[in-house]
Amino acid sequence: MKFNKKKFVYLISPVKINKFFYKDLINVFKQKKVSFFQLRLKRESFKKKLIIGRKIKKICKKFRVKFLVNDDVYLAKKLDADGCHLGQRDMDIIKARKLIKNKIIGITCHNSLKLAKKAIKKKADYLAFGAFYSSKTKKVNYKASIKLLNKARKITKTPIVAIGGIDSDNYKKLLLNKANFLAISGYIWKNKKLKPTNAIKKLK
């Protein structure tokens, strides 16, 4: 996985995708700050996810953003996505590897170095830690700290994605403490004060 210092945003889709979303997504991508886009739709049918996924994949391709699918390895395979993100209760990475071969596979490690070590051993392409801050997108069951980030950095060169309540006020602290990418969703899509394009512009 290549790094681009300026493209540190790992953007996660809103829970519901409306007709205005695609235009907003294009405008957000135009800011050249997004490296990854993760399709995370919990309530839609497989068929609906395919339709939405194909549209988003085209936009991602145009802006050279890696297109990832949350949880569902079969959907990732069907969409020929760039990869998949797996939670601790999802398919095991070794089984996922057999299905999507050398595509990107990222693993949720919550706030645990033990889970991170397991993921490293199984050759995960990135480790996701969090939540670092309280989040409106997801109930926070695990709280991660800057200390954890530093410890993880000492044991691995595997890219680290920080997640949870990240916004324009707290993002710099995570980048300064060696998080490679910041997973952001609510700050972009549910921001009451700023439109998606203006919200991402604040992440310099």
Is 160 within the bounds of a domain? yes
Is 127 within the bounds of a domain? yes
Q: What CATH number corresponds to the domain at position 183? A: 3.20.20.70
Quick one: pLDDT at residue 4? 66
**What's the domain range around 65?**
9-201
Q: Cβ(144)–Cβ(138) under 8 Å?
A: no
pLDDT band per the 50, 70, 90 thresholds, residue 139: confident
Distances (CA, A) of 72 to 51, 95, 107, 129: 15, 12, 13, 19
Is 119 within the bounds of a domain? yes
Q: How far apart are CA 48 and CA 65, in angstroms?
A: 22
Judge whether residue 142 has pLDDT over 90.
no
Is 1 within the bounds of a domain? no
| Helix (H), strand (E) counts: the chain | 9, 8
Is 78 within the bounds of a domain? yes
Instruction: Convert the pLDDT of each residue in 21-78 to its tens digit.
Output: 999 999 999 999 999 999 999 999 999 999 999 999 999 999 999 999 999 999 999 9
Quick one: pLDDT at residue 48? 97
Is 161 within the bounds of a domain? yes
Mean pLDDT of the chain: 95
Instruction: Convert the pLDDT of each residue in 95-130 to its tens digit.
Output: 999 999 999 999 999 999 999 999 999 999 999 999
Is 188 within the bounds of a domain? yes
Environment class of residue 11 by beta-carbon count within 10 Å: exposed (0-12), middle (13-18) or buried (19+)?
Answer: buried
Q: What's at 201, amino acid-wise? A: K
pLDDT band per the 50, 70, 90 thresholds, residue 6: confident
Quick one: pLDDT at residue 151? 96
Judge whether residue 138 has pLDDT over 80.
no
How many domains, in total, are found in the chain?
Answer: 1
Quick one: pLDDT at residue 1? 63
Is 2 within the bounds of a domain? no
Quick one: pLDDT at residue 125? 97
Judge whether residue 2 has pLDDT over 70.
no
